[in-house]
Every structure is written in structure tokens, then in C-alpha cells.
Amino acid sequence: MLKDKGIRFREKDRFWHNFMNTLKRFNSDEIADVPLELKIGNRLFNLRTDQEGYFKFETALLPALSVGYQDPFYKYTVGLPDNPDVKEVQAEICIPGPARFGVISDIDDTVLYSAVTSRLKIQMLYLTFMKNAITRRAFREVSAFYRALASDAFARNPFFYVSNSPWNLYDLLDDFLRLNRLPKGPILLRDFGISYKNRPPGYHGHKLDTILRIIETYPELDFVLIGDSGERDADIYLQVAAQYPKRIKAIYIRDVLERRRARRIRKLIAETWGVEVLLVTNFAEAARHASDIGLLDWGTFLAARE
């Protein structure tokens, strides 16, 4: 729960407007220890925000919620019982139907050009502070590839976006995915506020722990993992595949076109058995492979690309 900083954006916004919006995102004002009222279906739950303004809600699947098929999203509302004049906020949870598989995707330099590997991070900082959700660039054919993976004749295959970007950028990333027609799905980011001493026992890093939690939350789903060679996606995904060898259908790693990184990834792939792993230079290449192993329909990809 945050104080509204009035962040708005337009395509014609100048760099200074984007810069000020980014400063507002990182200078967030969390509202701690506030009672909340969550309504889902015909059930009501009382919660409270923590010191960082977050609230956590876990429950068994409610009988009133039928399993989703083509639209696996269910709306719920969160309100302030002590301030009834404040308008309730509506949000969604993802409850997949009998999908063939789920997709777990990185964001930075996988779907969104972020230049994470740029020297001294200068270009990455420029893009983060001087651009907005409209002016940031998606990689060519990523939308068509992802929509083809999501498409299924019976049930929509769910997407989960897991990134090391901070929660401060949530609104920008959510708008970016929507504007670029990428499949809707939970966006799971990192909390800058977690110190080393406060990390729970067995903590292996945000991305790995989050992916493992998704896989354990949906035990009936197999998964496709998509990332890039810029950071440690391949290492993390192969670690996941080693832990759940029968549940990872394929791993796609987008090559950020740095020879040293590509050589390291190819070596990892050469040493891997039992899972489909592909280092690709573009998403058409990934789509062709996914079509060959039955993950998507090639005609659906071509139609989405137009």
C-alpha cells in the first residue's frame, strides 16, 4: 500500500517528465500497519499491511471459484474498513484451468530491451529513468511468440513474469506488457527493502525462489522457461530443471549477442541432458522449435506476427 504520487505518462512526454516519474517510483511512501478488507467471491477476509506496505494472503482454493479456461483471472477487491470513503481497489488472481503448460518468463532483456549488460549500466539507467512504458522497446516477435504459446484450443496456457527489477517499477512493466500485447499474467518482482539478515532460511535468490514457488503452487502444470544470456537465467533455469526434470518442457535463452556470455551458455547446454534447451538469436527461431516439439501452432504464430 503506497501513497499515490500521481504518476501519469504519454508518448510525447519529454525526458524530464519520465525522469520525475521514475524518481517518484523510487521515492515511494509505504503505508504500514493498515487494516484491509479483501473480498473474493462471496468471502471476506481481514488483513493488515506490514512495515513495507505489503499484505500477504494465502488460502485454499475457494469452492465458489470455478476453474478458469480461456480466462483464468478472477477479480477481487481490497478496501479500507476504517476509511469507507476511500474507493475500493479491484485486482485479479490467476487460477489456471486444465492448461497443457505454463510459461515463466524473465522481463529485462528477454521481452523488454533494458541493456542490463551495458558498460557501467549507463544505458540501462538511461532507459529506466528517461523512457516510459510507451517509448520502451519490446524485442521483435516476442509478442507473437508469447501469444502463440498462450493460445490453446481448450484452455489458455498461463504466463508468469519473474524479474529482478524492483517492485517500484511494477506500474511501468504492467503498462509495457499490456501496450505490447503480451499475455496477461502475474508480475513478480524484487523487494529492495529485504536486507541480508532478514532473508528467510534457505533463501537462494529472488528469481530461483520465486520460480520454485510457482512450480510448487501449480503441481499439475509443466512449464516452459524463457530468459536471456545477459545475467544468470540459464544457470537458474537449469537448476530448476535439475530439481523438476519431468516438469520442464523447454528452456529458451535469448542471446544478448556477447560472445563470452554465449560461449558460457553453449557450454552449459552441452553439459545438459534430459531437457530441451535452446540459445536463440530471435523469437522466430524459438517459435519454430516450439512448433516442432508441439508447444505451439506455427500458423497461430504467423497470424499473431502480422
The proportion of the chain whose per-residue pLDDT surpasses 70, expressed as a percent, equals 93
Q: What is the pLDDT of residues 19-44, one digit of tens each?
A: 998 888 888 888 899 999 999 888 89
Per-residue pLDDT band for 202 (boundaries 50, 70, 90) equals very low
Structure confidence at residue 12 (pLDDT)? 76
d(CA 237, CA 217): 17
pLDDT of residue 194: 53
Distances in Å between the Cα of 297 and the Cα atoms of 149, 153, 159, 288 are 8, 10, 17, 9
What is the rounded CA–CA span in Å between residue 206 and residue 284?
29
Q: Which amino acid is at 193?
A: G
Q: If you search the block for the grid coordinates 488460502, which residue do you land on?
A: 59
End-to-end CA distance of the chain: 40
* Mean residue pLDDT across the chain: 89
Query: Per-residue confidence at 157, pLDDT binned at 50, 70, 90?
Result: very high
Domains of the chain: 35-94 (no CATH), 102-305 (3.40.50.1000)
Taking the model in full, what pTM does it have? 0.90
pLDDT digits (tens, 9 = 90+) for 60-94: 766 656 655 567 788 899 999 998 888 899 998 88
Q: How many CB atoms lie within 10 A of CB 209?
A: 15
How much is the pLDDT for 298? 96
Three-state SS across the chain? Answer: CECCCCCCCCCCCCHHHHHHHHHHHHCCCECCCCEEEEEECCEEEEEECCCCCCCCCCCCCCCCCCCCCCCCEEEEEEECCCCCCCCCEEEEEECCCCCCCEEEECCECCCECCCCCCHHHHHHHHHHHHCCCCCCCECCCHHHHHHHHHCCCCCCCCEEEEEEEEHHHHHHHHHHHHHCCCCCCCEEEECCCCCHHHCCCCCCCHHHHHHHHHHHHCCCCCEEEEEECCCCHHHHHHHHHHHCCCCEEEEEEECCCCHHHHHHHHHHHHCCCCCEEEEECCHHHHHHHHHHCCCCCHHHHHHHHC
- The set of residues, in sequence order, having a beta carbon less than 8 Å from that of 129 and lying 6+ positions away, is 18, 19, 22, 23
